[in-house]
Every structure is written in structure tokens, then in C-alpha cells.
Amino acid sequence: MQYIKNIFVWLNDQFLKMVWLDDLVKWFFGDVIKMDKESLLFSSVSFFVYDVIKILLLLSVLIFIASYLQSFFSAERTRRILKGKTGIGANATGALLGTVTPFCSCSSIPIFIGFTKAGLPIGVTFSFLISSPLVDLASVILLASIFNWTVAIAYVVVGLIIAVIGGTLISFFKMERYVESFVLETRNQEDTELEYEEEVMTKRQRVGYSIDQVKMIIKRVWLYIIIGVGIGAVIHGYIPEEMISAILGQDNAFSVVIATIIGIPMYADIFGTLPIAEALVFKGVGIGTVLAFMMAVTALSLPSMIMIKKVVKTKLLLMFIGIITFGILLMGYLFNAFSHLLI
């Protein structure tokens, strides 16, 4: 058993954490460029170069895999899977299907509108809308590459629970009446814009689609990654641990609240927040505080809320924000309390 565990750890270090790349980058800047290995500049620059290369490499591979899987779940097929389902089981299915869509929340909103117009229960569509930007296959692997598999799996489980509970509560309180009328106007028609004969893709078409998705998503997120890694590099090399601990350390009872508030004005995919999270953990910030920040950026960003406001009325938007905020805060404090079981 220990032999198998050692193999798994080695594979995880070499292929996910890319320890070899970290060693290579530090060798290049330390022995070739002759930077002082004890300097703050060396620490920041090596962190920046290593993280940018690692994240882009992993992201390209993972988007390809996720997109290939997602090619089996078109909007029409997803609608058919969800159609007729009710209750928590339907919300769970919607949340799980959200994990195979490599989109940010703004990209998921048109799909959300289509699902709602097609007559799917509002709670199911909200479970999908919550989980789609929050949890996806690529983010799971990237979380494991930075932290460990326990943290990554726990993040996914919590994200799905928030999505299921959120959708269930929205269904329970019958919030359909707070969806804008233009979204519902074709809801009861038999033929909706999602009704069409689905084209079956060949293997070659799926590969082509996946490559196109890699190009499109990398083009969309590369700047967020550069900015995120840049912020992470500054935190990693220049901001004193004492300063970060005073604001976001576990001794501060409001650290999770502060991290959540900081994350809301930002707009980035989870891939842009990961290097910041890595640097914060390195400086001693609690894992729950870090995950709360990441969830706030991906699920509660102001641009996303502005787009959602275009399709729902204020009461439903406030309920949506309240459910996710409560879930994030509860998750943050629970993860901090039980972090010794995760790391």
C-alpha cells in the first residue's frame, strides 16, 4: 500500500505540481541569470514564471479534456436530461451538469435563459447557474496541483452542496414570478429555441471542438492568469507575512468576511484566482479564508451580478446573493476550523 501511495505522490508532484518545472525555473534564474537566491526579487520572479507556465500548460490539457466531455452534453441534451425532473434530485443533476461546462458565470447566463424558456424548473436552472462557474473539472485538477486532492474534492463537494441548496430554496419559495417576463414569454410553448434535431459529432469533430475551446478559453483568461500570478508573486515575495496575518490570518475572526468582500469587486475565472490563493496559503492564511475569496470572485463578482440582474428581478437577485454569500461564509469558517484534516 505504501508503495502505491509513493507512486501516486510522485505522479502528483511531477505532473500536477510540476516540481521539475519549479526546480528548472529556480536553476535558470539562480545559476544562469545569477540572481541572488535569497532576494525578494528572485522569490517573486521565480514564482511568477513557474506559475504562469504551469497553469497555462495544465489549463490547456484540462480544457481539452473537459471540452471533449462537454461535447457530449450540448444545451439540448442537457435540457432533455433535466426535463421532467423535480425536487432535490433534479437540482443535484443540474449542479452536476454545471461542472462539465468550462464557462464563467457570464457565459452560463445565456444557457440559463434558454433552459428557463424551455420550461425547466427555476430551481434546477439556478443550481446549474451556481455550479457552472464555481466547480468544473479543470478547477478541480488545478486545486489539487496547488494544494492537495483532499482540498480539491472538499471544494467540489461544498460547491455542489451550495448549488443544490440554492436551487432547492429558490424552488421552495416559488421564485419563478421574479424572473423577467421576456425570459418566460416562450416558457409554455411546445417549440422553443432549444428544440432542434441535435447533430451527433464524430470523434474528429469532438477533437476539433476541444482544440477550438482551448484556444478560445486561453485567449479569454490568459490576461486574468497573468494578473493573478502577478498579484500572487508580489504577495509571495514582498508583502510581509505579519501584515497578511493581521488582516486575513485565522486569529482575525472576520478574516472570511473580509476575504469574501475583497473578492466581490473582482472579475476573473477561478484560474486567475488560484495563484493568489497559493500565495496567501504560503503566507499562513487559512484554507477556508482562501477558498471563500476564490468562491466570491467566481460566483459573486459584480459583472456577473449585473448580467444576472438583466434576467431576474431584485428580490430573486438578492435571494441568490444571500444564499451564495451565506454558503461561502459557512464554508470558510468550517474549512478553517477543520483545516488540520485537509492539509
Q: Dump pLDDT digits (tens) for 188-242.
A: 544 444 444 556 788 888 899 889 988 887 887 788 888 888 888 888 878 887 8
Identity of the amino acid at 329 = L
Q: Is 56 exposed, middle or buried (0-12, 13-18, 19+ CB in 10 A)?
A: middle
pTM of the predicted protein model: 0.75
Q: Is 242 strand, coil or helix? A: helix
Residue that is written with C-alpha cell 510522485 in the block:
10
Whether the Cβ atoms of residue 131 and residue 95 lie closer than 8 Å to each other: yes
Give the distance from CA 1 to its chain's centroid. Answer: 33
**Cα dihedral 317, 321, 327, 331 in deg (nearest 10):** 150
Which pLDDT score is estimated for 177?
86
* CA–CA distance, 185 with 176 (Å, rounded to integer): 12
Residues of the chain with pLDDT under 50: 189-196
Which pLDDT score is estimated for 325?
92
Which pLDDT score is estimated for 1?
63
pLDDT tens column, 2-30? 677 677 677 777 877 788 999 999 999 99
- Looking at the chain, list the stretches that DSSP marks H as alpha helix, in order from N- to C-terminal side: 2-11, 19-27, 40-70, 75-82, 87-98, 105-117, 122-134, 137-146, 149-172, 181-184, 203-237, 241-248, 255-263, 270-282, 287-299, 302-309, 314-337
